[in-house]
Structure 1
């Protein structure tokens, strides 16, 4: 049974992830897992591409042509950058949004997309700076705050990251993707009971997806609760695939360590619609 993991760069959050847990699952399933994108651009009433890299390439090519006709144009820049991010062409996406930010240095939407692209490309210090200017103090954006938290986690400031997640949860209570990031933050510091409880709450949401559940399976595996991890995986795959998935996670933990396993976990994006 193949599992399609959908990754949506158009929905905020730190999308620069190695996806090793997914890769491990794919390897254990004979390489059949599919990483796909599902965009929902909110800067123009455009038809979003369906899941699948071929559609994303076509989408990106189309917006690339529009961007080339008018570099720095807000709509073309944001949609082209989102397409580039879907194709993991992160440095190009950052360059596109850098040009847009020069032309619109106070546009919150542009700055938000620029900060996400910088985070994707690993330019964390600059991403941190840009994201602080991506929303006004009196109208905080929880989707940007989620990215800020992820950046702080990457930089090693876990207390700072959790403050962003906590403040964002005041705006969007019980949002599963915020809870997911918070749970992974706890896992990074080996606070596994807190990580499990937080990810269980996230997974219980009807809006949670396979990535949230896979992260819960990861944390349960870190705790040695392999049978429970398999039960969680069975929500999205067959019994054999669930066993193979947990086996791959265990091998990853053994070879890479806890922190590397958590940092490489599939972190979902957050909706901006």
Structure 2
């Protein structure tokens, strides 16, 4: 079996994987924590035109039409410029549609006063992270924690930010805090496992991800990350078996050709 005794070797491989989406960022909610005006309150205050736009935006987002949803939420926010629920949704869908840098600049220029709202602050922090502004994202996420100290999603996002900066011990600490608030959360367990692997603790990482796969047997993302860790550990056959559960034959072979690059590494 392949043995990776170099922390740097594992970390280098997994950094490549993470660029491809090995970590999982929890989907944003319309409200986060104890915001003062939730969606139902916002809807009750809308006129017919605003309500029509709101329902159209929600439907577009639910259908993964994020560009469309962002556009509609943006128009709705022009009509409701003091509504943090709408701004949060606008920021979220701009991030989903790959326009994080644009929406970060928008918030900073047009709505900095709205960052006192917990939901807006958290969505803005995630947009900073998606825009590659890692240090700023860490600051914003820690500020979000001060407002939402019991929200596991904030801890998980902060862990991703720390991982992206190579601050693995800090990442593992906040993932642990997230699991204390949301036990057996597969999203958090996935991210903790990848962080452990990047820090060189491959056996611990596999153990965490095996538990996560057992908790949610339908999560293909977790299975494929586990396959990656098996391959890094030299167990290509177990990696093949997991990969085959979600991919067709040609994709399995493509993945296995990638896994075989680990053979002989650090030997």
Alignment TM-score, normalising by the size of structure 1:
0.71
1:67 to 1:99, Cα distance in 2 relative to 1, 3 A: farther
Q: Distance in 2 between matches of 1:151 and 1:78?
A: 20
Which residue is equivalent to 1:233?
A: 243
Q: Deviations over 1:164-210 (max 9, x none)?
A: 01111111111111111111001112221111111111111227622
Greater share of helix: 2
Q: 1:65 aligns with which of 70, 75, 78?
A: 75
Alignment TM-score, normalising by the size of structure 2:
0.72
Which residue is equivalent to 1:114?
A: 124
Q: Distance in 1 between matches of 2:29 and 2:245?
A: 26
Q: CA deviation at 1:247?
A: 2.1
Q: CA deviation at 1:140?
A: 2.2
RMSD: 3.0
Describe how 1:200-239 pairs up with structure 2 within 5 A. 200-206=210-216, 209-239=219-249
Which contiguous aligned blocks of 4+ residues in structure 1 show a shift greater than 6 angstroms? none
Which residue is equivalent to 1:26?
A: none
* Number of equivalences: 222
Q: CA deviation at 1:239?
A: 4.2
Which residue is equivalent to 2:34?
A: none
Which residue is equivalent to 1:78?
A: 88
Alignment of 1:188 onto 2:188: no
Aligned residue for 1:133, secondary structure, equals: helix
More moved, 230-239 vs 92-101: 92-101
- The runs of 5 or more residues in structure 2 that have no matched partner are 1-17, 32-37, 41-54
Aligned residue for 1:173, secondary structure, equals: coil
Q: Deviations over 1:231-256 (max 9, x none)?
A: 111222234432332323445x68xx
